[in-house]
Amino acid sequence: MSKILYSLKSLKGLLKKEKPSQVIIVTSAKLASKLGWAIKEIGLSKKDLILIPDGEIAKEWEQMQTLLNKFIERGLDRKSIVIALGGGPIGDVVGFASAIYLRGIKYIQVPTTLLAQVDSAHGGKTGINFLHYKNPD
């Protein structure tokens, strides 16, 4: 089921209602520093972050494997929620990793670019690049 939330207050309410075992935010270092206030607003802190690169490099196979390893290291389970905080590439890799980890765990996209807001954050399709193939539109 998809929902569109319009505020940090509604995101915080959704997280409270879902009662996840853990909440992890996957974002870039640049966004984490700029949006630290928002992370605190929903009741999370730096310890709840997994940092990945910005841009298309985030969608490389190796980055996805690293992200899955971090899910394992953090002990994410089927009741965990992963928040993708960033543009389209971050949403794609986090959505893909969340879909294949433990046969699927919940994830929330928080698109931070206009393109991600009107395009990649809708429709539920995610993907990564593999070898020399870029995930198709």
**pLDDT on residue 2:** 64
Better pLDDT: 131 or 124: 131
**pLDDT on residue 122:** 60
**pLDDT on residue 116:** 73
| pLDDT 10s digits, 51-102 | 999 888 898 899 999 999 999 999 999 999 999 999 989 999 999 999 999 9
| Cβ 26 vs Cβ 32: under 8 Å | no
Q: Does pLDDT of 136 surpass 60? A: no
Q: Does pLDDT of 30 surpass 70? A: yes
**pLDDT on residue 131:** 74
Residue ranges per structural domain of the chain: 20-120
Backbone dihedral region for residue 46 (phi beyond 0: left; psi -120 to 50: alpha; all else: beta): alpha
We find that the CATH architecture of domain 20-120 is 3-Layer(aba) Sandwich (3.40)
The stretch 4-29 carries a mean pLDDT of 91
